[in-house]
Structure 1
Amino acid sequence: MRQKHTVRVLALTACVAAALAGCKQNATAPASGEAPAATAAANDDAALDKAVDAFIDGYFQHNPVFAASAGKHEYDGKLPDYSPEGLKATTDWLHAQRDAFAKFGDDKLDEQGRFRRDYALAVIDGNLFWLEDSGFAWKNPAFYTGDLSPSMYLTRPYAPLATRMDAFIRYQEALPKAVEQIKANFKLPLPASYIDLGVNSFGGYASFFESDVPKIFAEVKDDALQARLKASNAAAIKATQDMADWLKAQKPQATQDFALGAEKFAKMLHATERVDIPLDQLKAAGEADLARNLAAMKAACGQFAPGKTLQQCVEKEAADKPQGGAVEGARAQLAGLRQFIVDKDLVTIPGPEQAKVEEAPPFNRWNFAYIEIPGPYEKNLPSVYYIAPPDPTWPKAEQDAYVPGKSVLLFTSAHEVWPGHFLQFLHSNRAGWKFGQLFVGYAFAEGWAHYCEEMMFDAGLDGATPETHIGQLSEALLRDVRFLSAIGMHTGGMTMAQSEKMFREQGLQDPGNARQQAARGTYDPAYLNYTLGKLMIMQLREDWTKDKGGRKAWKQFHDQFLSYGGPPIPLVRAQMLGGAPEAKLWTAPAPAASETPPAPSSMATPASSGG
């Protein structure tokens, strides 16, 4: 689950579009004869800037892992206070911050100030939802596991290895207390999928600490540091393995009580993304996009694998594996993706940075791929695109099926690197407003990355062949089923087994991925944001470019969109089009009657899957 994100903002030619993009400008004295109202607004804007700076400082103190990941290394080695008292202190602080920002009225701020205030309020509301309303602090390991990741100290060369070793030791020294606090917070019984996540995550930490950590720091020739590492590593292995064992022991009493319920789910959407679309309309939009992509898959498969079922067609694509495996295959793809962006002039590439590709560490393999990007306070450091190997406990056939075909991997690489997450952060690393560099919404980041997949195919990636289209559509169907599973499992009574079936039959996923994705939906209800964000971006692009040349304005649209940091997309829509923030989802034009595909008979939609 992505509760907290680091993000950055693009500065459009030295803050040319500052009022829209939120680029920070120096406060100046009011001009002679300036109206009193304008002077008051300027004063309130300056006060808002101070409030934002104070919020960032306070947020770092309450969330030291977030701070260290952003590049504030005075917070290295620290973990949050996960005790009930610590969580309450953070919650109380957020409420006080919300009250302070809400006092900045529309009449006392200019356009830029109102945007910044609303952006800050959205970040606060999102944090408060996960802390208070979700209940995740008391049952969901995903609430904590992101904070516990030590990857920053091990893979990010922000300092000499000995310095990072010292930070890592301090992290490990703090870990047993943090794990005990987490264990004490959990209110039994726990949902089965949450237990499995915790067992895999904490067990993965223990395995990683034991097998990999000593080798990583072996070259540091400092006896005192090595002695401290040996002690901290032993304690960390014990703490995390004990936690995994304790969670595993709860399995006989496990429940299926993971659903947020319709009321909390709707609140999540508004608090985190400023989306107020009724759930039945959201569900209908997801079903329409699923039908659109299934129809396109049927057409592509008719050319690529005539006479085969859709599942057989997808299996044929998946059989064309990347040479050397997924990690080597992704490495080979990145240069071509970047060159395609340049050749097609799709979006500005603002710097020379590149991303590395590595195998995901054992404690973070709950999804196939992700990318770690240095925070905005870091300079000249690499980003790492991680790819998870299949679970070695799965049957051999399922392990083989988990490794995607070259075309699916191509769009995973587009999502994670060019022009997805990595390019987004290249833009925002060059922003003028620090808040926008630090905080990004789930739908903004994942919506952009998922949008890029279809946009790249539409621009002709890899010749836009039927096989290439199958790769893009496989990713789109996966996200469509995530969208419907999130709504179904949390508001419509859909079971995890029904979700898994839907991933197999409608998402055309292999068995391992289907199980993994259905489980993720229970502890990450916001994973509908891939499709939700994509559909909001596609509608915004259509509305913004219609009087600017349509497709000819795509690059201009992309650069402008990336300039806002990472606020809820309805706030971006209001900045680009004017008016009040509004969530609008793109829907494909209806096909001619003769082209309308029949509804798949095995489709289990959230509303009908409660039994």
Structure 2
Amino acid sequence: MNVFSGSQTFRWLTRIGAVGLMLLTLPRLAAQEADAKLDAFFRDYLEKRFQLEPTAATQLGDHRFDHQLEDVSPKSRAEWVALTRATLQALPQAVDFTKLSRAGQIDFEIFRHDLETSLWLVENTHPFEDDPRTYGDYISDSVYALLAQSTLPKETNLTNAIARMRRIPAVIEVARQTLKNPSKTILETAIRQNRGAIAFYESGIFELAGGTPQLAALKAAAAPIVEQLKLYQTFLEGDLRARATGDWRLGCERFAK
């Protein structure tokens, strides 16, 4: 004998279905919440990083910092490392990996691996001390990217480039004070690259700029850079070349870490 009427059976099945749907939905909602936390955490990290490394922002398409340039002094670079280390430590506390969607877990792992790699490179390589090519990213590439790759209006890019250029002599000075013992192979490449940087600020940058009402300001910003780069060239070809006995190879011991 059937103890349930048709309507009772329907209500019973409806309740079972609702409970089942809720059980299926709750993990999905939890994953969405966890994914949102990861997204917010990552955006906060990027904001802090971009303030310390404006050319990284430019490269990733955030143009709010195009008028700025990194302070590459040892003290400032220590702040970069501190941010990376603090972010890596805070990541598992801020975001529960087990609650993320599978896509979120992959993003989490990629982010964590990138932070770990950055710290490993800091601990096992010393590009600012041993690789003069490193400074080229700031001396010339940072400005070239604005004039040749940015989609902002031309005059906006020129304004940002001029502001960024005013900070380049400080980068060159840090390079002279910081470079210690590069490998001869790397140094010879840097010497050729620096000749290209001199040519860029002597003429190439004006070809990129074309006709502009900011030409006088651009020339005024380029002149001291050319002067400093020529002195830097003398340093590279003289003092630094004389002590360029470093090895560009990572080595078995560090590679095994």
Structure 2 letter corresponding to 1:212: G
Unaligned 5+ runs, structure 1: 1-30, 268-611
- Structure 1 equivalent of residue 3 of structure 2: none
- Structure 2 equivalent of residue 126 of structure 1: 117
**Among 56, 62, 66, which residue is 2:46 paired with?**
56
The answer to whether the 8 A contact 2:138-2:171 is kept is no
- Structure 1 equivalent of residue 229 of structure 2: 240
**Among 195, 217, 239, which residue is 2:209 paired with?**
217
* CA spacing shift, 1:185–1:71, aligned 2, 3 Å: same
The answer to whether the 8 A contact 2:129-2:182 is kept is no
Structure 1 letter corresponding to 2:183: P
1:230 Cα offset (Å): 1.8
1:37 Cα offset (Å): 6.0
Deviation string 1:534-585 (CA, Å, 9 cap, x unpaired) is xxxxxxxxxxxxxxxxxxxxxxxxxxxxxxxxxxxxxxxxxxxxxxxxxxxx
**Among 60, 71, 76, which residue is 1:70 paired with?**
60
Q: Cα RMSD over matched residues?
A: 2.3
Structure 2 letter corresponding to 1:160: P
- Aligned positions of 1:189-228 closer than 5 A: 189-220=181-212, 222=213, 225-228=214-217
Distance in 1, matches of 2:135 and 2:89, equals: 27
Matched, 1:88 2:81: no
1:228 Cα offset (Å): 1.9
- Aligned positions of 1:163-202 closer than 5 A: 163-187=156-180, 189-202=181-194
Distance in 2, matches of 1:35 and 1:144, equals: 52
- Structure 1 equivalent of residue 133 of structure 2: 142
Distance in 1, matches of 2:172 and 2:178, equals: 10
- Aligned positions of 1:433-512 closer than 5 A: none
1:71 Cα offset (Å): 2.3
TM-score computed with the length of structure 1 as normaliser: 0.36
1:117 Cα offset (Å): 0.5
1:170 Cα offset (Å): 1.3
TM-score computed with the length of structure 2 as normaliser: 0.81
* CA spacing shift, 1:46–1:256, aligned 2, 3 Å: closer
The answer to whether the 8 A contact 1:77-1:171 is kept is yes
1:254 Cα offset (Å): 2.0
1:36 Cα offset (Å): 6.4
Deviation string 1:73-112 (CA, Å, 9 cap, x unpaired) is 2211321110111100000000111112233444232312
* SS of the residue 2:167 aligns to: helix
* CA spacing shift, 1:214–1:42, aligned 2, 3 Å: closer
- Structure 2 equivalent of residue 392 of structure 1: none
- Structure 2 equivalent of residue 539 of structure 1: none
* CA spacing shift, 1:170–1:58, aligned 2, 3 Å: same
* CA spacing shift, 1:126–1:57, aligned 2, 3 Å: same
The answer to whether the 8 A contact 1:195-1:251 is kept is yes
Distance in 1, matches of 2:152 and 2:128, equals: 33
Structure 2 letter corresponding to 1:232: A
1:128 Cα offset (Å): 2.1
1:202 Cα offset (Å): 1.9
The answer to whether the 8 A contact 1:44-1:108 is kept is yes
Structure 2 letter corresponding to 1:71: G
For the pair shown, which has the larger CA radius of gyration, 1 or 2?
2
- Structure 1 equivalent of residue 9 of structure 2: none
* CA spacing shift, 1:88–1:109, aligned 2, 3 Å: same
Distance in 1, matches of 2:154 and 2:52, equals: 27
1:252 Cα offset (Å): 2.5
Deviation string 1:378-405 (CA, Å, 9 cap, x unpaired) is xxxxxxxxxxxxxxxxxxxxxxxxxxxx
Structure 1 letter corresponding to 2:151: Y
Distance in 2, matches of 1:228 and 1:66, equals: 25
- Structure 1 equivalent of residue 7 of structure 2: none
1:256 Cα offset (Å): 4.3
Distance in 2, matches of 1:201 and 1:43, equals: 49
Deviation string 1:322-357 (CA, Å, 9 cap, x unpaired) is xxxxxxxxxxxxxxxxxxxxxxxxxxxxxxxxxxxx
- Aligned positions of 1:348-363 closer than 5 A: none
1:199 Cα offset (Å): 1.3
Distance in 2, matches of 1:38 and 1:214, equals: 56
The answer to whether the 8 A contact 2:162-2:217 is kept is yes
Distance in 2, matches of 1:63 and 1:179, equals: 17
Q: How many residues align?
A: 233
- Structure 1 equivalent of residue 92 of structure 2: 102
1:34 Cα offset (Å): 5.3
- Structure 2 equivalent of residue 154 of structure 1: 147
The answer to whether the 8 A contact 1:81-1:178 is kept is yes
* SS of the residue 1:159 aligns to: coil
1:143 Cα offset (Å): 2.9
* CA spacing shift, 1:111–1:138, aligned 2, 3 Å: same
Structure 2 letter corresponding to 1:175: I
The answer to whether the 8 A contact 1:130-1:136 is kept is no
* SS of the residue 2:67 aligns to: coil
* CA spacing shift, 1:107–1:71, aligned 2, 3 Å: closer
Structure 2 letter corresponding to 1:235: P
* CA spacing shift, 1:153–1:101, aligned 2, 3 Å: same
- Structure 2 equivalent of residue 425 of structure 1: none
Distance in 2, matches of 1:96 and 1:155, equals: 35
Identity, % of aligned pairs? Answer: 22
* SS of the residue 1:212 aligns to: helix
* SS of the residue 1:118 aligns to: helix
Structure 2 letter corresponding to 1:233: A
1:205 Cα offset (Å): 0.4
Distance in 2, matches of 1:156 and 1:64, equals: 16
